[in-house]
A and B are shown apart, each in its own frame.
Chain A
Amino acid sequence: MQTRLNLDPAVVAEARDLAALAGQPIVDMASSHTTVSIERAVLRLAGLQGADSAGLPWANRLVDAVAEATGLQHGVALVAWDALITGGYTDLAQLAAAAAQGRVAFRIPAGADAAAARAAARDALAAGIGRIDANRTQRQLMIDQTADPPRPWIYLIVATGDIYEDIPQAQAAAREGADIIAVIRSTGQSLLDYVPEGATREGYAGTYATQENFRLMRAALDQTSREVGRYIRLTNYASGLCMPEIAALAGLERLDMMLNDCMYGIIFRDINPRRTFIDQRFARQIHARAGIIINTGEDNYLTTADAVDAAHTVVVSQLLNEFFGKEAGLTDGQLGLGHAFEINPAVPDSFLLELAHAQLVRELFPDAPLKYMPPTKHMTGNVFAGYLLDAFFNLCGMMTDQSILLIGMMTEGIHTPFLSDRDLALENVRYVRDAAGRLGDSFVPAPGGFIQQRAAEVLGESVGLLRRICDQGLLTAIAEGTFGITKRPADAGRGLDGVVVRADGYFNPASELLEADGPASRRAVLEVSR
């Protein structure tokens, strides 16, 4: 890719080094703790499905029972598989049902018993991780049999609340030109400390993320991929209290992209910072293994803070997301870093500022499949002006080689898009792509001109902020309201009671597999600090 901004490589390198410096203590914390959701994800990867009569998943019942009996500091696997073997249960679901009735005497096994439990758990997890590997192979096979759509990929959202309504809408959107379908989750699912079960038909402003809903939608899109001759990717959300479990389910059901931000849940959902960072690392290790592209949520900062003043917080968050992502084993090609076109159109030179910001991100992360988000904050209800703004967003995306374009709707903020809103939005992006798709080849900002200056300014501010974060520590920076506008202390927010310090001898057969022969995480760290 050509460079258009003439960024100082020394400043770029310093920014990366600072991000690594700020992020490392968080990695150390994540490596020495576990959470209830990580332990539930282990069980789900081992094949545990289903729920009790009240709808509480067996994964929750079993982890809760073990937590109460022995604590989770050794990991659920050691205790659960010991009980499974010694109690003669046929599978984890049967064990969970018995545990829920208080009929299982859990213990922390030692010696040969512990070795037997570990071996059985490793076998079960090898099967689960094997299924994720097989899905990754199957995805490539599907792409080979159909086609990988050219970039930018067109990203469209469906959100009816009913999976059986979502499916035809998603298929229609794919036929109309969408390359990626995202199923928005029901409001507040990120705050549930369990993953609902089964196919769901009732959601609030979105559809629940469940394993069965994932499976149904992926199967439908496979059918449509063959029909339209290009692979349609499926996206869902691994944020919130069940991040590791949803990541596991995404890997098991061959989702292709997942929203997974290092700080979104903290800032916007008041989820405890420690819980989020610990969960996130494990979730990303699964995504790395599954070949899933993560999408980060920096666009959200610009919906609360001013898009000009806070431009550098986006870059800082992207650098942190990159560091954490690579440490967890994700490659550049899996880092769908987010940003957005959210500058007030009344600001003079707003389009030039957008170009500078978008190009800066492109050049800082040349190999990342950047996800560019359309205007939302300044969509006023004047649908005609909104359509024009969306066209400028599309143009900026084309000129700066963005990889994934979430298609803006002129009725943003009014209602969930009509069929016609979506059709008009696609017409808009098609026009811009056909008319100006190659404009990037000829787009050369004047040396030392407005765009280059603005990009250098934002990069400089990013380094300044990273220095401050390194001085005070990332958790303190978050507690003091550095991102978004919200103060989130490290010991407040939801889910802290689900965080457990690992004991010596903590055993997590999923982590063993993911860290042993996944993409080598140590190597990735070296690449970052290169």
Chain B
Amino acid sequence: MTGSQAGSGDRRPELARLVRPYGDTTGDGRVQVSFTLPIPFGAATERSRAEGAALQLAGKMGLDPAMVVHAKGMGPDYTFFVVYGRVAHLVDLSQVTVVEREFPLLSPAEVNLRIRAGLGRKLVVVGACIGTDAHTVGIDAILNVKGHAGEKGLEYYREIRVINLGSQVAVPDLVARANAERADAVLISQVVTQRDAHLSNTRQMAAAFDEAAGPTGHRPLLVVGGPRFDPAMAAGLGVDKIFGKGTTPGEVASYLAAVLAPAAETAGAAS
């Protein structure tokens, strides 16, 4: 370490507020796009019309001038294009907004590392669908090794021990099992929303864990997921976190690691 990375040693010019895409010259604005249009690319007239159509779309996308460098018919009805062009648009960096997540998104290896360092043992997760809900698709996508959306489920994480109780688990059974396993977190999936069953089930579960915790107030982290939950409702339902539609296993694992195995020294310094 020479210290040359300190601010004073950074000789890069300050970032301009307004930038354009870079092809091979500053400010040339050149980009490449590819797309398909549902039009034929057969006879010569069709080909000319197809290229014209692609140029029109490129123009509307802000590419001017644009050049169709590749066009190919795919079957009788579709044409694929590769287009290069210069975009007129400017990027205003002062207007870029970054969605703040309250926890950093980590890779499985990073999650494992964080748990080893912050917890010093395996993190125990108990998962279930409670009440009469038999829709385990959500909880399984998060927990099964198979995972979801190209991400492996929590079972894949070496430092997480998963106990998946499956569907239609009674709340008292869930509480008992979570205590027996000394669960760090309990994951609940609720899909059925008839007569707001997902809300009443969740409240009932939270109350049961609070009651079991007794005067110490120590209970596992309660995490709920389902397509019809509003993530802002967590406190009102008595749980710690709600995940909505489209949540991936990596997000859940990152959240668990951030809350249950916080990196003491670097907390806040990252992101």
Contact = CB atoms under 8 A, between A and B. Distances in A.
**A and B associate:** yes
Contacts of A204: 137
Contacts of A304: 145, 152, 156
Contacts of A172: 75
Contacts of B148: 187
A235 B54 CA distance: 36
Interface stretch (A79-87, A324-332, A416-424, A500-508): A416-424
A268 B146 contact: yes
Interface string A249-276: 0000000000000000001111000000
A188 B74 contact: no
B164 A270 contact: yes
5 contacts: A175-B75, A268-B144, A420-B35, A420-B80, A485-B158
B181 to A, nearest CB: 13
Interface string A417-444: 0111001100000000000000000000
A448 interface: no
Kindly state the interface size class of chain B when it binds its partner.
Answer: 20 to 34
B75 A176 contact: yes
Contact of B74 (A267, A423, A485, A486): A423
Report the interface size class on chain A.
Answer: 20 to 34
Interface string B111-155: 000000000000000000000000011001100111010101001
A418 B155 contact: no
B34 interface: yes
A176 B156 contact: no
Interface string A389-423: 00000000000000000000000110000111001
Interface string A171-190: 01001100000000001100
B253 to A, nearest CB: 15
A187 B166 contact: no
A60 to B, nearest CB: 13
Nearest to A303: B152
A485 B156 contact: yes
A418 B36 contact: yes
Nearest to B161: A487
A191 interface: yes
A41 B166 CA distance: 25
A423 B80 contact: yes
A374 interface: no
A509 interface: no
Contact of A188 (B140, B145, B156): B140
B240 to A, nearest CB: 25
Contacts of A270: 144, 155, 164
B258 to A, nearest CB: 24
Given A269-B146, A304-B145, A486-B155, A420 B140 contact: no
Contacts of A485: 145, 156, 158
A484 interface: yes
B150 to A, nearest CB: 4
B136 A268 contact: no
B145 A268 contact: yes
A494 interface: yes
Contacts of A175: 75
B78 interface: yes
A375 B156 CA distance: 19
A188 B141 contact: yes
Contacts of B140: 188, 191, 269
Contacts of A486: 145, 155
A420 B145 contact: no
Pick the 8 closest A-B CB pairs, nearest first. A188-B137, A413-B150, A268-B146, A420-B80, A423-B74, A420-B36, A268-B145, A486-B145
Contacts of A376: 150
Nearest to A426: B74
A376 B72 CA distance: 27
Interface string B74-92: 1100101000000000000
A376 B148 CA distance: 14
A269 B137 CA distance: 11
A79 B7 CA distance: 83
B246 to A, nearest CB: 11
B136 A188 contact: yes
Interface in B155-192: 155-156, 158, 164, 166
A400 to B, nearest CB: 27
A59 B137 CA distance: 23
A420 B150 contact: no
Contacts of A423: 72, 74, 80
A267 B140 CA distance: 13
B141 A420 contact: no
A269 B150 contact: no
A172 B73 CA distance: 13
A418 B74 CA distance: 12
Contacts of A188: 136-137, 140-141
Contacts of B75: 172, 175-176
Interface string B174-218: 000000000000000000000000000000000000000000000
Nearest to B76: A175
A268 B144 CA distance: 6
A420 B74 contact: yes
B25 to A, nearest CB: 22
B145 A191 contact: no
Contacts of A268: 144-146
Nearest to A264: B146
Contacts of A494: 166
A187 B34 CA distance: 30
Contacts of B145: 267-268, 304, 484-486
A466 B258 CA distance: 41
Nearest to A189: B137
Given A172-B75, A176-B74, A494-B166, A419 B146 contact: no
Given A172-B75, A187-B137, A269-B140, 11 more contacts: A176-B75, A191-B140, A268-B144, A270-B155, A270-B164, A304-B156, A376-B150, A412-B150, A413-B150, A420-B34, A423-B72
Nearest to A383: B34
Interface in A495-527: none
Contacts of B36: 418-420
Contacts of B158: 485
A424 B141 CA distance: 30
Interface in A166-213: 172, 175-176, 187-188, 191, 204
Interface string B34-76: 1110000000000000000000000000000000000010110
A191 B148 CA distance: 15
B78 A419 contact: yes
A478 B36 CA distance: 47
